[in-house]
Every structure is written in C-alpha cells, then in structure tokens.
A and B are shown apart, each in its own frame.
Chain A
C-alpha cells in the first residue's frame, strides 16, 4: 500500500491533464482531498488489504519503501497540512485556472514529500528532496509578481547551494560505504572516526540546515514565506521545510550517521541560536506572514534542541513539537490568508480590534499563538516542557534555559501581534469588515480543535506515539 502513496498522486496529475479528460479538471480538488484523507487514514491504520487493482499497481512499480512509526506520523502530518492548503486554495486562488495549477503542484509536492519520508536510500532521498525543492520554487513563483519571483529566486539559489553540498557529501559517503542504503551506511559509519567520514556527514548536516532554514542559513526563508501565495505559505511553512530539512536531520542523525559529542554540540548550538534569533527578529516585523516566517525559524530551533538532547525523551519531545508546530503554524497561516482576503493587506499596523468583526479568525489565532508560546494546557506547552526536561536530564542546563527564555519572547511577539490585529478598539475604516469565508475559517477551526485535543490527550499521545518513536530511533527498549 505504501507504493500507492507515490503512484496515486503521480497518476492523478497525469490523468487530470489528459486532453480528453478535461471534465476532470473541476474535480481536481476532490481528487486531492480524497487522496489526503486516504493517506491520513492509512497513516493512522496502516492495514494492507489486498485488492486486484492495488496488487496490479504494486507489481508494476516495485519500490523499495520502508514504513515505521516515524514515517506514519510524517505521512499523517503531510496529509493534514496538504488538505488544509487545498481547502484554502478554493477561496484564496485567483480563478479556476490558478486553482487547477496549484492542485497539480500540490499533487507533485506531496509525492516528493511522501518519497522523502518513506525512502531508505541516501541518493533516492536526494532525488525526492529535489522534487520537493523544484515544486516549492514553482509554487512560490506562481504568484507571478516581482516579490514572488524574488522570493523564489532566493530559495532557488540557496537550495542549489544545499544541493551541491548534498551531492558532494553523497559522493564521499559512497566512497566510504560502497553503498547508499541506510543500513550499509550506518554499518560503515558506526565506528569510522576518519576525517573524511566526519566531513561527509558534516557537509550533509550543513545542507539540511539550509533546507530547514536554521539561523545562519535562513536568508531565503522569510522572503519565500512572505512572497508565496496564501495556500503555498501554508504547505511551505507547515510541512515542506520541516520534512526536507528537519525530518531528514532527525532520521539521518539518529539512524544513519553517528551523533558524536561534536555533532551534538553543533546541533544544540544551532537550535539555541535559531530559537533566540528567530524570536528576536519576529518581534521587529510588521508583516503578518513575515512575522510567522521568523517564528517558524524559532520553533524549528526547539525541534532541533530536542534532537540535540540525544535521548528518547528528547526525540519524543522534538517529534511532538514537530506535530504541534505543523498544526499551529498552519492555523496561523490560514488566519493570515483570511486577513489578506478580507482586508487586502498583511500589514499589522493597518489592522486593529478585528476580533469583534472576525471572531472565528481571532479565536483560532489566539489558540494557535498560546500553543506556540507554550501556554498550558495547550499542546505546545507539553512538547516544549518535554524538550526542556530532556535537555535538563542530558545536563544541557544552558540550552534548557534558552528554551524557556525563547518561550517568553514568543509570548512577547505574539502578544504584540494580537494587540495590533485583534484586540482593542476597532480601527477606523474597518467597520465594513466581515468574517472570512467558510473555506478560510473551517480549516483554522479544525486545526485549533486538534491543538486543544492534543493538549488534553498529551499523556496517551506521548505514551503511544512519540515516546515509542524516540525509543525506536535510538534503538532503546
């Protein structure tokens, strides 16, 4: 069945573009939504029913994919965020043609992301990272304006640098291990302390830092997020950069390359720096989406700190925050799309008191911001708490303090945002404002409910989902 998660979206793109099946163009959204629901359901219940059609497709394409707890979690998050972006596209796209183009690209990008998370070979992973990168570039530029092209160009250039580093690293790894599948590379690198082995894995790490937009490598990210059309920002900020830069880092530096003390220090430093720099830069922003972009950098820092703790609890916290971040950041990008659709601007200083006129948008943004800032009992509080505890247990007291301090700054910039946009007296000239259309409110409400639900059910979720992932990745019983 896992093969179908690569083959079905690919087939869909081809079928809906066939000249004699033009009537299917109008159904592109429903096809994409159905596929996301199928993928989400499969991730929750990975059953393997044997139907003639699935057997035929699987026999045609013999793909060597692997499914484990981490992969299933990622497949679920990809489906959730992609479905959100698709629903928002129904309202936010300019016209039917624009909508159809976006659904095509969503199908391709989801294929790429599914490939990245299910593959167990470094070169194949690189190929699917490129699928995601190329499609992201087109998605960002698809707005067609100068700012879109500038954002896309910056992304393209830095992504190309990361690609060069990845390819060079893969060549060196092949030289060392004689194979690129995860298992032989793990065996070859297990007790290989040579300069070349460290250089190859370090180069790989740097490339993933660029892809994940960590501080010092983040120059492309704010422009790309800000310039991208609204639905693209959701899928880009919610999942693409997290899968191509953060998931890959967690997967490779727990299961393939050994994370010695030196690499652990680098990961902790990058995580801490990203938390502080991202949060401080977010404080200074006036554009809603640009602020969210810097906030993303800061939140990714928490995930990286969890990885740097190097314990099952740390990895569990990192993956819990990965899930939470995908949910609350998608909520906030949906809110940004709603504000832009109603007001025609993202400048926060031209807003004010909007929660009276847009109660659903205001309410859901409040839930998302409180979760991002780590306010109990929302999901973000628990994931941050687990990361801080893991850092404390690993004797990284300084970084635990950085994580707590970062939360305070996060609270600061989100309070500024709430005050400027939603709280207080309604700004003059905004009396005409009404709540955003259903397609821009419903996804935010569903995602907020998930945030609240994950906060209430954090115990069972940690026990059944995230801690087993941490133990599995670090091979601890």
Chain B
C-alpha cells in the first residue's frame, strides 16, 4: 500500500515538473514532446486511480490527435536563431522561477486539506463498477462528448491552417 502511494506521488511530481517545463519552454518541439509525456503520465495516473475509460480517452485524444496538430504547427513555423533562443530562455527562466515553487506549495497544501465532502461522496463510493466497456461508454453514454471532441479537433486543425500558414 505504502509502495503504491509512493509510486503515485512520484508520478504526480514528475507530471507537475514536466507540465511546468512544457509551459515555460520556448521551443515548440520540446513543448510537443512535453505534452506527449504529460499525457502518457496522466494516462498512467488515471489508470492507477481506477478510471480506465478516462485514461483511454486521454491517451487517444491528447497523446494522439492533439500531438498531430502540434507537429503540423511546428512544420508551418520557423525556428529562432540560436542566440535568440538563449536570450529568450534566460528571460523565461528569470520571469517564471517562482512557478515550480507555487505548484509545490499548492500541492503540499492540498495534500494536507480534507475537502468537507461528508456523505456527499457516498453515491460514487458505493456505486458498483460499470459493467460496460470503453466502447459502450463512449458510444452509448458519452456520444455527444465524442462528437464535441471531433469538432474541437476540426476547429484546432482549421486554427493551425489559418493562423500559422498565414504567419509563415
């Protein structure tokens, strides 16, 4: 049990560290790789927390399709010069040095605070595990969300084409 919690904590810390790195990096390629890693780690965390449907959705949508849009963005944009990269990276680190500290402080605070859920969580806690598989959940129960996700990806693809093609 202790080992299991230890693994979860390591995974979540890793997740937070990579998330911060992904946000503050100025290199799109690194940000894309960071996004993929965040998605993969989040998938593992969700799976370990007993939410396999959410894990599959995260992996398929984020790690797969959004990454494709991200990489197509990179192919349509231009690299900065090496000198400029060094300058902007230093500037970014100078401006965002406090970000990891804030996240660690919030994480420690939240881990110490018990939300006053009371009996409200009972319906979830007592609910029997769903007999339906991922396919049934996505196609029968969350059909509308799936279509919404498809539309978001379509809009994302249009955004990349419109904004970055013109920028190039």
**Which A residues are closer than 8 A to B by beta carbons?**
6, 10, 13-14, 61-65, 101, 104-105, 108, 111-112, 115, 119, 121, 123-124, 127-128, 130-131, 134-135, 137-138, 141-142, 144, 174-178, 192, 194-197
Chain B residues lying within 8 Å of A175, measured Cβ to Cβ, are 117, 120-121, 124
Chain A residues lying within 8 Å of B151, measured Cβ to Cβ, are 10, 108, 111-112, 115, 128, 131
3 residue pairs, one from A and one from B, having the closest CB atoms:
A127-B148, A178-B123, A138-B159
Q: Are B158 and A138 in contact (CB under 8 A)?
A: yes
30 A-B residue pairs with CB within 8 Å: A6-B147, A10-B150, A61-B143, A63-B143, A63-B144, A64-B143, A64-B144, A101-B162, A105-B158, A108-B154, A108-B158, A111-B151, A115-B151, A124-B144, A124-B148, A127-B144, A127-B145, A128-B148, A130-B148, A130-B152, A134-B155, A137-B159, A138-B159, A141-B162, A142-B162, A144-B166, A144-B167, A178-B124, A192-B120, A196-B115
Chain B residues within 8 Å of chain A by Cβ, number: 28
State whether A131 and B152 are in contact (beta carbons under 8 Å apart), knowing that A104-B158, A124-B145, A196-B115 are contacts in the complex: yes
Within B120-168, which residues are at the interface with A (CB < 8 Å)? 120-121, 123-124, 127, 142-145, 147-152, 154-156, 158-159, 162-163, 166-167
Chain B residues lying within 8 Å of A62, measured Cβ to Cβ, are 143
Chain A residues lying within 8 Å of B152, measured Cβ to Cβ, are 127, 130-131, 134
Between A and B, how many residue pairs show CB distances below 8 Å?
93
State whether A135 and B117 are in contact (beta carbons under 8 Å apart), knowing that A6-B147, A127-B144, A127-B149 are contacts in the complex: no
B50 within 8 A of A: no
Q: Are A134 and B159 in contact (CB under 8 A)?
A: yes
Helix, strand, loop or mixed for chain A's interface? Answer: helix
Q: Are A119 and B144 in contact (CB under 8 A)?
A: yes
Q: Are A178 and B156 in contact (CB under 8 A)?
A: no
Q: Are B147 and A138 in contact (CB under 8 A)?
A: no
- B42-64 CB mask vs A (1 if < 8 Å, else 0) is 00000000000000000000000
Most buried by B among A13, A119, A135: A135
CB of A242 to closest CB in B, whole Å: 20
